[in-house]
Amino acid sequence: MALAMKFDKSEKVFKELCEIVPGGVNSPFRGFGQVGGFPPIIQRGLGSRVFDIDGNEYIDLCCGWGPLLFGHSHPKIIEAVKEAALKGTLFGASTEGELKAASMVRKAYPSMEMLRFVNSGAEAVNSALRVARSVTMRPRIMKFEGCYHGHVECLDSAGQEATEAGGPLPLGSSPGSASETVVAKFNNLDSAAKLFAEYPGQIAAAIIEPVTGSMGVIAPDPGFLEGLKELCHANGALFILDEVLTGFRVALGGAQERFKISADLTCLGKALSGGLAMGAYGGKAEYVKHVSPTGPIYQAGTYCGNPISVAGAIAELELAFQEGVYERLEVLSERLVSGLKQIGGMLVQNVGSMFFIGFGPERVHDYEDCLKLDLETFAVFFHKLLNRGVYLPPSTTDAACISAVHTEEDIDKALDAVSEVIREMGLN
């Protein structure tokens, strides 16, 4: 039964935000463009729950868009951040914590022989592409339709989505930058091979999400990532895995551990720091040494390796290295996903604790399948679920997640709410 939720305060604040901030949000993901209406204004989070300014409580299946492996306000992470803040918020100089954090990342990701901390996943991606161009002395980058890599100019201005938006200039991108990006199809090695043949000696790297997080949760077909890596190396290009979403999420060593593959360069995001502003990129030492001061690529940032984010990263990674964490996530994920499938009436796909719910097609295997998703049905489903205290990402195409601090009771309550909504909508 739907809760008697009120959103008066949220609606008022959101309307006022819209007068000052484009769309009322500081990142378009937060807007309710796909589902309609206005978003609840979140006041705080604790464990597996978030609370809005109207006093409504939600089981959080968004988890900060993925990185909150240990839920909201984990005491170990909060204490680490407090201690770091008391010592100073910014030095613009190296700290001992950077060594510990970098060593822990390298332990989880052996392919990252050398790495550098940055402030976001998008910054990590942009920097990794520069490394690839410098190493290979080639201009072009291969991306895959429907994969999301942040607001990186050469990537988000090319492909079908960019064409639908009117091309590079309406997106504020350089047409020259867009023209140097070539677009292949996810789970389709032939499309990648054709591009290597069409642009011989010109492609610096192929970058891909090993598991898609913005066109449904799509796993790579068996042999797809391995085949792409072989194609890259056969054509003198680097193989880059964007693990901003999968990093520390689908396994301690991310998709590389889960699918037993290594990358030439890897991009990580805020999951490594418990949700604080942070990212990292790295790979073979000979490649990363192209970055200044050991090489010609001038990538810099006063906040890179910020002591507060680094402290959060150390605390987060210490939690992640604990025995049984990922086994726990797998058990909870199986409970949720199997329960959703048993309810029926919807499409559910997952890789570990990343999952998505959609309506329409029987499966989503690539970007063309993603376009078949029924957005109107999802919008109704989303709002009915929100009114029952379950918070999903406000987009059928984006990955939802659970954390290691969700409980079986949380999962069962969410399943009861979904079952009630599906029944009310007459979908099963």
Tens digits of residue pLDDT in 147-169: 999 888 888 888 877 887 788 88
- Domains defined for the chain, CATH in brackets: 8-61+324-424 (3.90.1150.10), 75-320 (3.40.640.10)
148 is catalytic: yes
Strands 203-208 and 140-144: parallel
270 is catalytic: yes
303 is catalytic: no
Let me know if 302 is exposed, middle or buried by CB neighbors in 10 A (0-12, 13-18, 19+).
Answer: exposed
- What pLDDT was estimated at residue 303? 92
CA dihedral of residues 135, 138, 144, 147 (deg, nearest 10): 50
Q: 371 and 186 in contact (C-beta within 8 Å)?
A: no
Specify the 3-state DSSP secondary structure of 295. Answer: coil
Q: Which residue among 270, 369, 391, 410 is the active-site one?
A: 270
DSSP 221: P
Which residues does the chain have with pLDDT short of 70?
1-4
Q: How many CA atoms lie within 13 A of 257 on its CB side?
A: 17
Interior/surface letters 394-404, b for 16+ CB within 10 angstroms, e for the rest: bbbbbbbbbbb
Q: Which residue among 58, 109, 148, 287 is the active-site one?
A: 148
Over the Cα atoms of the chain, what is R_g? Answer: 21
pTM of the complete model? 0.96
- What pLDDT was estimated at residue 2? 56
- What pLDDT was estimated at residue 3? 59
- What pLDDT was estimated at residue 110? 98
